[in-house]
Amino acid sequence: MASLIEKVNTLISANLHSIVDRALEQNSVAVMDEYIRQAEKNLEALEDSAATVGGTVKTLKRKYDEFAAAAEKLDRDIDTLIMKGKNDLAGAAQAELNTKQQLAQEYYEQWQEQDRQYQNMLDMRLKLEGRLTAIRQEREHLRSLIELTEAKKVTTKTIKSLDNLATMGDKEISSLADQIRGRLDTEDARLDMATRNISEQIDDVVRSGEIERQLEERKKRLGMGAAGDGGAASSGGSSAASS
């Protein structure tokens, strides 16, 4: 039991942010999967042990109630025996009452101790379930993010930018995915800007080429071709005038 409690306490006190960081550094959710497996395994064992202790609590309480009720009845009977002058029976009953009261007290103390342990185990179960829920949610977020960063070939750059998160505590876990998404969004914006600039340069070149083509067509229509063509046109014009 002590070993189980220690394992559960270790899982509860584990720094989930550190686990998430390690998953990012390794570019894999394997470390998170291992935590989930251990937590699920120990949670199941904890629930079994809690059920056993809970049963013991009910048994001890029932025993205490039985002895307490018997002692209360015996106490009333002793009064009746004394009033009827049956002192020998009253003495024997008093000795039995002392025994029952002592047993009732022992059962009460055991009941209270087991109940404290039972309540502590229930509290630990809730905490471990909460940790499991958190790590499962982060696992899905980070799995998608890792796949995205891998696809964009910026994994190393993204992970290095997380160094400043090393000193953060568990309260920052919920915002970690958003921070990574923010960095990826910035990277996307940079890529979009670079793509747009290239597109604009291409468009400029295409547009300038189109304009030149259009001007050349106009020149041809106006009889203003290349210099050689222009000379031939002038020569032909002179011959026509001479004849």
* CATH code for the domain in which residue 100 is found: 1.10.287
Q: Is residue 51 part of a domain?
A: yes
Query: For the packed helices 87-152 and 2-13, what is the interaxial angle rounded to 10 degrees?
Result: 40
* CA dihedral for 217, 219, 224, 227, sign (positive or negative): negative
Q: What is the pLDDT of residues 36-52, one digit of tens each?
A: 999 999 999 999 999 99
Amino acid at 26: Q
Q: Is residue 238 part of a domain?
A: no
Closest CA to 78 of 44, 51, 101: 101
Q: Is residue 217 part of a domain?
A: no
Amino acid at 114: Q
3 state SS of 93:
helix
Q: What is the pLDDT of residues 83-130, one digit of tens each?
A: 988 888 999 999 999 999 999 999 999 999 999 999 999 988 988 888
Distance CA 170, CA 209 (A): 60
Contact in structure between 60 and 113 (CB atoms under 8 Å)? no
Q: Is residue 229 part of a domain?
A: no
What is Dmax (Cα atoms) for the chain?
171
3 state SS of 29:
coil
Closest CA to 82 of 122, 195, 31, 74: 74
Number of domains forming the structure of the chain: 1
Q: Is residue 81 part of a domain?
A: yes
Distance CA 165, CA 186 (A): 18
pLDDT in tens for each of the 243 residues of the chain? 768 889 998 988 888 778 877 887 888 889 889 999 999 999 999 999 999 999 999 999 999 999 999 999 999 999 998 898 888 899 999 999 999 999 999 999 999 999 999 999 998 898 888 888 888 887 887 887 777 666 655 444 444 444 444 444 444 444 555 665 455 455 455 445 544 554 565 556 556 666 667 777 777 878 776 544 444 444 444 443 343
Q: Is residue 207 part of a domain?
A: no
Contact in structure between 34 and 62 (CB atoms under 8 Å)? no
Contact in structure between 174 and 131 (CB atoms under 8 Å)? no
Q: Which token pair is 51? A: 């059920």
Total-model pTM = 0.57
Q: Is residue 200 part of a domain?
A: no
Other CB atoms within 10 Å distance of the CB of residue 16: 19
What secondary structure does DSSP assign to 10-27, as a single string?
Answer: HHHHS-HHHHHHHHHHTT
Distance CA 224, CA 183 (A): 58
Q: Is residue 124 part of a domain?
A: yes
CA distances from 182 to 20, 110, 163, 187 (A): 17, 56, 16, 9
Q: Which token pair is 32? A: 């998170």
- Give the domain range for residue 72: 2-193
